[in-house]
Amino acid sequence: MSTVLNIPLRYDAVTPEWMTGALRGKWPDVIVKDLKRGPIFGYKQNKFRVQVDYADGDGPTRNFIVKGNFPGQDDPSTGTAWSMASELRSIRDVAPLVAAPFAPECYHIDISEQASAIVMEDMSPKGAIFFDAFHTLTLGQAMAFMDAFARMHASAWNSDMFKPGGAMGPGTFAGENRQLVNEVYLPSLLEEESWRQFVEMPRGRAIPRMFQKLDRVQTAWDALWSLLRQADMTVIHGDEHLGNLFVAADGTPGVIDWVARPEHWPIGIAYFMVCALDIADRRQWDRALISHYVSRLAFHGATHVPNVEDAWFLYRCTTFYPVVTWMNNSAVWQPEAVNTANTVRAAVAALDHDAYGLLGL
């Protein structure tokens, strides 16, 4: 069989022949005789389960998930080529450079400008529990995730990898991913027409008026980034909300759907805590979780970590970050109920912690 595979452009292009080629990177002698594609699952129309039968009647595993942007379906809800390529390159090119949290094993990744696809382990038959925006974490689960993020962050804390010539420096995928997020995507969120559109949606109408007014938001946003430039750099997962989190059968915390990049640590931590915790629980637990994060950073080998008071201050200011990102999250990525839930959680956290006041407004 040829070692060159075409990236599937449609769901029905995931055939036994294609799966055989995809799996031979891991198991060179495998032959898939037949397969059954399950229904599309999740909000975005870009992934489904595949159960395979092998020619010799036996094989390493029968259950897989195939995910891609499938441009041949001509369906915007499958996602953009850029976002899928960013996710898969994060898994392929960045996660191996850090002490990444547990994740499904990947057997095949293929990326082009138009289409990308991944074949990965299906964790559900193994007892994994996947979260969603309406089932928030317990304290024990939150602490386990905080430890996993601290371990990853410590492995890249102020790393030389971010410097020119480094593995995640300028000109690398990780460096360019950060540039695209911070210089292209995030500024687009504060364009007046876009902001006005989202203010009129349920998510915008559900938050305090102070976070609806674009001029105040822009001032706070500029102040936040001026402050964040003083914070330590690390590698973040980049989209640490409940829809991208799971726990294995033994309780080990895991992540999917990366937007990995070098970033200031408070962004990943504040985004995680605001999105993953019930509002009442976050009010009770967030100081203890920040203290836990700082102590685990040091335990995992990070040097010159912030003290708890400084970390607490930076976290409180950065609760404003997910207000902006969730307020503007495209309906292609999440349904309005999820966008509203996370925008409200972020706004309440920013209000509770007086983020505007801390940022000088």
CATH code, domain carrying 47: 3.30.200
Asked if 153 and 100 sit in the same domain, the reply is no
Give residue 332's pLDDT band: very low, low, confident or very high (50, 70, 90). confident
Percent of the chain whose predicted confidence (pLDDT) is above 70:
99
Residue 2 has pLDDT above 60, yes or no: no
- Residue 116 within a domain: yes
Out of 92, 121, 150, pick the residue that ends a domain: 121
- 25 closest CA partner among 109, 85, 123, 111: 109
Asked if 144 and 288 sit in the same domain, the reply is yes
Residue 5 has pLDDT above 50, yes or no: yes
How far apart are the C-alpha atoms of 15 and 36, rounded to whole Å?
Answer: 9
pLDDT in tens, 104-152: 999 999 999 999 999 999 999 999 999 999 999 999 999 999 999 999 9
CB 231 within 8 A of CB 317: no
Asked if 113 and 204 sit in the same domain, the reply is no
Q: Which domain holds residue 175?
A: 127-358
Other beta carbons within 10 Å of 6? 13
Out of 101, 121, 141, pick the residue that ends a domain: 121
Please count the structural domains in the chain.
2
Asked if 179 and 298 sit in the same domain, the reply is yes
Phi/psi at 12 (nearest 5 deg)?
-75, -5
Confidence at residue 1, expressed as pLDDT on a 0 to 100 scale: 39
How far apart are the C-alpha atoms of 35 and 30, rounded to whole Å?
Answer: 14
70 φψ region: left (φ > 0), alpha (ψ -120 to 50), beta (else): left
Asked if 43 and 192 sit in the same domain, the reply is no
Asked if 269 and 167 sit in the same domain, the reply is yes
Mean pLDDT of 69-98: 95
Asked if 169 and 253 sit in the same domain, the reply is yes
How far apart are the C-alpha atoms of 358 and 361, rounded to whole Å?
Answer: 7
Asked if 98 and 139 sit in the same domain, the reply is no
Out of 77, 96, 121, pick the residue that ends a domain: 121
Which residues have a Cβ under 8 Å from the Cβ of 190 and sit 6 or more positions away? 214, 217, 218, 221, 324
Asked if 193 and 248 sit in the same domain, the reply is yes
- Residue 70 within a domain: yes
Q: Cα dist. 27→19, 40, 76, 109 in Å?
A: 11, 26, 34, 15
Asked if 77 and 153 sit in the same domain, the reply is no
CB 258 within 8 A of CB 90: yes
- Residue 4 within a domain: no
- Residue 1 within a domain: no
Cβ-count burial 42-60 (b if 16+ within 10 Å, e if not): eebbbbbbbebebeeeebe
Please give, one letter per residue, the 3-state secondary structure of 84-104: HHHHHHHHHHHHHHCCCCECC
Give me the residues paired with residue 40 across strands: 48
CB 108 within 8 A of CB 65: no
Asked if 223 and 313 sit in the same domain, the reply is yes
Which residues have a Cβ under 8 Å from the Cβ of 191 and sit 6 or more positions away? none
The gap from C-alpha 68 to its chain's centroid, in whole angstroms, comes to: 16
Give residue 59's pLDDT band: very low, low, confident or very high (50, 70, 90). confident
Confidence at residue 57, expressed as pLDDT on a 0 to 100 scale: 84
Phi/psi at 264 (nearest 5 deg)?
-70, 130
Asked if 162 and 207 sit in the same domain, the reply is yes
How far apart are the C-alpha atoms of 299 and 282, rounded to whole Å?
Answer: 24
CB 256 within 8 A of CB 91: no
- Residue 208 within a domain: yes
How far apart are the C-alpha atoms of 189 and 205, rounded to whole Å?
Answer: 17
Structure tokens belonging to residue 19: 């799966």
- Residue 254 within a domain: yes
Radius of gyration for the alpha carbons in the chain, expressed in angstroms and rounded: 21
> Angle 261-262-265 (CA atoms, 0-180°, nearest 5)?
110
- Residue 3 within a domain: no
Give residue 4's pLDDT band: very low, low, confident or very high (50, 70, 90). low
